[in-house]
Each structure stands twice: as C-alpha cells, then as structure tokens.
C-alpha cells in the first residue's frame, strides 16, 4: 500500500501544463472569428453531433432520471475521494498492477519516462487521452528521445499537422477532409501520392500507417474514462478499435488517470455507459469498451501501471462552488451546443479543455487568480444550453458566475491594485441606484431618446466609447426606442380610462 497522504492539503497544489490560455480569450477569439472556413467546419460538425444526440436521447423515457443518477454517483465519489482512491490502489495492486501517485504534470511526466526507459524502448503507442494532453506528455517524451505515436484517427491528424486539439471528443473538428488529405500527403511516410479526400481512403491510409506501429510497439500509454474502486478496474471507451490494440498487444501498459475519474462500484458503469455514448457521439452503445483489472499471466500486457494524477484537482475539490466541475465525464455535449465555442473554436481557450467545461475546469485547476486564465470565466454568454446538455448536470453557468466573482476579488486584492473604482464599478453602482427606485428608473428612461443620437442611419449603434467599446467591437446595438415600455404602459392605461374614470370592461 502507498504511504501517500490522501487527505485534503491545507494549500492544494495548482495545476500546470496545457491548461492555460496562451493569450487572452477575447483577442484570440476575435482573430478566429475572421476564419470563415473554421466557422463552417465547426458549424457542420457540432450541428451533426448535436442532432444525433437529440434523436437517441429522446428514445429514453428515463433520461432525466439517468442524469440525476450520474450526478449523484459523481457527487458521492468526490465526497469519498480519499477513501475510494485508497481502495482502488489496494484492489489494483492485489491483481498484479502498480500504482504511482503524481502531484502535478512534471511528476507524472517523470514517472512515465522512467517506466518507458525501464523497458528499453524508445517508442510508445498511445490511446487518445485528455490527461496526457493536459500534462504535455508527448512533447516531454519527444524532447528526451522517446517517440509517442497517437493511434486515434483525429489525434493522429492533429499530431501529423503539428497542431493542437480543439475539441474533447473530435480533436480535429476544425479540419475538413481536404485539409486532412493534404496533411497525410505531406507528413505520412509511404502514403499513396494519389490519395483522395474520400473518408474511406483517408481511414485506410491511417490504418496502414498505424498497423506497423501496433505490431511492433512494446509499450502503450492510455488514459482512462473510469476507475472502479471496488475492483481496481480501469476502463476505456473508444470508437475505432485502436484502443483495444494498444491495450492488449504491448508488453507494458501505462495508464495516466485523473483522480476524479474514480467510481465507487462496478454497477455504476451501468449508468455511465448509457449517458456517455449518447451524449458524446450520439450512439446508443459505445463500439469498443475495454475493461482491465491488473495483469494476467499469458494474457495481455505483462506489466500494468497506473499513474494517478492530481495536477490541481484537489484545488478544484476544495472549491465548494466549483467542485462539481470534476464530475465531467468528457462527453463534449456542452461544447456542441455552445454558441461561443461554435464561433470561436477550441484553440481560443488555450487549454486542453475547451468550450464551456474548459472555461470553468481550467481556472479551477490552476486557481482563478492565475493571470493566464483570468479571461476564461468570461468566455460565455450564460445562455444555459451547456447545463441542459450536460449528462451529469454540472451547472456550468452558475460556476462561471462564481469564478467571475472570484476573479474580481483576486484583482482587487493583488499588491498594487488600483483602489479607485473602475468604469464598470461606477456603471454598476449607478445601475443599482437607478433600479432600486421606480421613480429614479422612470426618470432615467425619459432620457432613452437621446440614445438615438449615437445611432447611424441604419438604426444601430456600432461604436461606443469607454466601457461600451468592448461590446461594440464585435456587436451592434439597436437604437433605443422613442418611448420606454413603462411610458407606453402608462399611456395605454390613461387612454383606456373614460372621462368618468371607469376603465374599459368594468361594470359589464
């Protein structure tokens, strides 16, 4: 058994790796909005997945009950996390596996490197893994002379294109098939120079390229969708069969799993195996589900390791308002319904975790006070579509509002922070004063016609000074009406009263 302390640390460590903005979201998104091809690719892909999901979800009369069950199981897992992780280690070790604990990305990378070097191999094949993307494992290994080959088709496209994933489920969602063909022709060794952009031809080219890797690799690295504490079982769900090849053929299997992926019981899978495929790919059942428990002589890998990764997760767990972000099962349903993601794309978020879930998870892992992630909680219209789509009912809009408040407080408490009120502070104070009294609100509304002076002939305001400039950089504002609703209502009430003071309809 491990002697690692599993209690809640007084100062939880922050996360590091590919979970931070490379530049503020507004500036990156503004640039991406000019890319018409990107927006077309994203619109087509997200709408296709969204429509499939709606069809298969509507088939289940107990869908809302399943969501409630999934949320309850994840809540239980987070409440019992130290206990469940200890139980998982005990069961996994008893069945021939080895458990390693990693506080952060750097420690996880060092552990994996050491395990690979112990085999004498300089190549590994990989199953698609958000955790290894998060810690930057591929880049770390490459710098040290170890080649990591992605075997998921979309991840392979991203890797060969020297790109970064832009979606949790479909990492190459920002690429169309013509772009993929060009990447294969340019980067894939031995590819047919007459390769077309027909999807079947592209898939066959990738299959031929990867087959050699599967048959020669001695080491495989995977993530995990679930870890079952009761039995010490790990699980991976995927759609192409590449995962099954990686998990069974190599002699050594190394899994990197975030500690939040643990579930209490094997029977809990019954809920998530209904929620996950419908929410992610719009399928009733996942094509390939692989479960393994330790190692078995003569069957599968001889050595089985799991690296349990913290990297800011205990920090997120300590946030009582935001901890439910750790319930995420990486289905991407929130991204496929998000109007902001659909237009800005995943790269604008900078993190391995884009979209609505990334806007809350990344700041929670690094700490919202981290300068590099301060704009992510604002990368949302708060429309609530993500909450409605989430299969485990994570209230993303509520957490976004909480993180925005945390960001404001963090900026105010920084050494040297400006003590004078900002334009936003003054605007909110003025709005509070006006809206707290009906007479004041009425007086303010009388000035609405003056707003017409800022509008052009087309009846819209396209440029405002000061605080309003941030809004009008990418949006137009309709000119205010000549009369407010309150004024129109008062006029209606006055006109509906006869000279004797009897309203229409009274006394009939």
Supply the pLDDT for residue 10.
Answer: 53
Cα angle value 205/206/208 (rounded, 5°): 65
The residues, ordered by sequence, that sit 6+ positions from 242 with a Cβ below 8 Å of its Cβ are: 127, 151, 152, 153, 210, 214
Tens digits of per-residue pLDDT, 162-208?
Answer: 999 999 988 998 999 999 999 999 999 989 999 999 999 999 999 99
- Continuous segment of H or E residues that includes residue 293: none
- Continuous segment of H or E residues that includes residue 499: none
How many Å apart are CA 367 and CA 293, to the nearest integer?
34
Tens digits of per-residue pLDDT, 16-38?
Answer: 899 988 889 988 998 988 888 88
Identity of the highest mean pLDDT range in 239-253, 422-436, 444-458, 479-493: 239-253
Buried b or exposed e, range 486-496, using 16+ CB within 10 angstroms: eeeeeeeeeee
The conformation of residue 454, written as its DSSP 8-state character, comes to: G
Cα angle value 134/136/142 (rounded, 5°): 160
- Continuous segment of H or E residues that includes residue 307: strand 303-309
Q: Which residue has the higher pLDDT, 442 or 141?
A: 141
- Continuous segment of H or E residues that includes residue 227: strand 226-228
Instruction: Return the minimum-mean-pLDDT range out of 35-39, 53-57, 333-337, 422-426.
Output: 422-426
How many Å apart are CA 217 and CA 386, to the nearest integer?
40
Exposed (0-12), middle (13-18) or buried (19+): which is 261, by Cβ within 10 Å?
buried
How many Å apart are CA 322 and CA 328, to the nearest integer?
12
Of 238, 46, 49, the closest CA to residue 151 belongs to 238
Helix orientation angle between 63-79 and 81-94, rounded to the nearest 10 degrees: 90
How many Å apart are CA 42 and CA 45, to the nearest integer?
5
The answer to whether residues 135 and 309 touch, using CB atoms and an 8 Å cutoff, is yes
Assign residue 178 a region (left: φ > 0; alpha: ψ between -120 and 50; beta: otherwise): alpha
Q: The sheet that has 233-238: what strands, in order across it?
A: 262-263, 226-228, 233-238, 288-292
The answer to whether residues 312 and 325 touch, using CB atoms and an 8 Å cutoff, is no
Supply the pLDDT for residue 419.
Answer: 64
How many Å apart are CA 303 and CA 99, to the nearest integer?
11
Q: The sheet that has 98-102: what strands, in order across it?
A: 98-102, 303-309, 252-258, 219-222, 123-126, 147-150
Supply the pLDDT for residue 447.
Answer: 75
The residues, ordered by sequence, that sit 6+ positions from 277 with a Cβ below 8 Å of its Cβ are: 237, 283, 284, 285, 286
How many Å apart are CA 310 and CA 365, to the nearest integer?
9
Q: Indicate the pTM of the whole model.
A: 0.85
Separation in Å, CA 346 to CA 19, 25, 59, 150: 12, 10, 30, 20
> Is 112 a residue whose pLDDT tops 50?
yes
How many Å apart are CA 224 and CA 363, to the nearest integer?
22
Q: How far is CA 79 from the centre of its chain?
A: 22
**How many CB atoms are located within 10 Å of the residue 294 CB?**
19
> Is 8 a residue whose pLDDT tops 50?
no
How many Å apart are CA 403 and CA 174, to the nearest integer?
28
The answer to whether residues 25 and 348 touch, using CB atoms and an 8 Å cutoff, is yes
Supply the pLDDT for residue 43.
Answer: 92
**254, β-bridge pairs:** 221, 305
Of the chain, the percentage scoring pLDDT greater than 70 comes to 94
Tens digits of per-residue pLDDT, 199-257?
Answer: 999 999 999 999 989 999 999 999 999 999 999 999 999 999 999 999 999 999 999 99
Per DSSP bridges, beta strands 288-292 and 477-478 are: unpaired
Q: Do you know the residue count of the chain?
A: 508
Q: Residue written as tokens 């799993």?
A: 257
Of 171, 243, 255, 238, the closest CA to residue 214 belongs to 243
Tens digits of per-residue pLDDT, 61-106?
Answer: 999 999 999 999 999 999 999 999 999 999 999 999 999 999 999 9
**239, β-bridge pairs:** none
**73, β-bridge pairs:** none
Of 97, 80, 169, 94, the closest CA to residue 133 belongs to 169
Q: Which residue has the higher pLDDT, 419 or 236?
A: 236
Separation in Å, CA 210 to CA 132, 207, 299, 388: 20, 5, 22, 39
């Amino acid at each position: 058994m491990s002697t690692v302390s599993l209690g809640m640390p007084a100062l939880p460590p922050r996360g590091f790796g590919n979970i931070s903005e490379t530049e503020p979201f507004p500036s990156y998104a503004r640039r991406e909005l000019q890319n018409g091809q990107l927006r077309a690719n994203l619109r087509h892909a997200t709408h296709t997945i969204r429509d499939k999901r709606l069809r298969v979800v509507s088939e289940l009369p107990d869908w809302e009950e399943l969501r409630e069950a999934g949320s309850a199981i994840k809540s239980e897992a987070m409440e019992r996390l130290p206990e469940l992780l200890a139980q998982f280690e005990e069961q996994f070790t008893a069945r021939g596996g080895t458990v390693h604990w990693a506080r952060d990305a750097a420690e996880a990378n060092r552990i994996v490197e050491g395990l690979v070097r112990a085999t004498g191999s300089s190549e590994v094949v990989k199953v698609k893994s958000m955790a290894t993307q998060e810690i930057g494992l591929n880049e770390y290994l490459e710098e040290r002379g170890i080649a990591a080959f992605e075997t998921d088709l979309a991840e392979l496209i991203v890797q060969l294109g020297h790109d970064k994933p832009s979606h949790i489920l479909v990492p190459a969602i920002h690429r169309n098939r013509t772009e993929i063909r060009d990447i294969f022709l340019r980067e894939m060794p031995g590819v047919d120079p007459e390769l077309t952009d027909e999807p079947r031809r592209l898939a066959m080219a990738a299959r031929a390229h990867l087959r050699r890797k599967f048959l020669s690799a001695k080491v495989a690295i995977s993530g995990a969708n679930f870890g079952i504490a009761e039995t010490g079982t790990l699980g991976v769900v995927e759609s192409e069969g590449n995962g099954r090849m990686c998990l069974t053929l190599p002699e050594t299997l190394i899994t990197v799993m975030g500690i939040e992926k643990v579930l209490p019981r094997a029977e809990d899978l019954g809920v998530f195996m209904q929620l996950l495929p419908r929410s992610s790919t719009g399928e009733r059942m996942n094509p390939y589900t692989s479960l393994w428990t330790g190692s078995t002589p003569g069957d599968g890998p001889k050595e089985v390791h799991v690296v349990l990764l913290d990297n800011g997760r205990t920090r997120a767990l300590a946030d009582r308002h935001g901890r439910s972000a750790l319930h995420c099962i990486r289905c991407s349903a929130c991204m496929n319904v998000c109007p902001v993601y659909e237009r800005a794309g995943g790269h604008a978020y900078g993190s391995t975790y884009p979209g609505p879930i990334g806007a809350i998870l990344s700041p929670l892992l690094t700490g919202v006070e981290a300068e590099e992630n301060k704009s992510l909680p604002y990368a949302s219209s708060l429309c609530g579509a993500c909450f409605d789509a989430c299969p485990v009912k994570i209230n993303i809009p509520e957490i976004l509002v909480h993180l925005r408040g945390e960001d404001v407080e963090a900026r105010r408490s920084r050494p040297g922070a400006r003590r004078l009120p900002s334009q936003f502070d003054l605007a909110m104070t003025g709005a509070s004063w006006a809206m707290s009294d009906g007479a004041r609100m009425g007086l303010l509304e009388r000035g609405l016609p003056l707003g017409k002076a800022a509008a052009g002939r087309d009846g819209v305001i396209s440029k405002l000074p000061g605080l309003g400039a941030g809004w009008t950089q990418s949006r137009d504002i309709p000119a205010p009406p000549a009369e407010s609703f309150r004024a129109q209502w008062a006029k209606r009430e006055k006109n509906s009263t006869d000279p004797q003071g009897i309203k229409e309809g009274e006394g009939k």
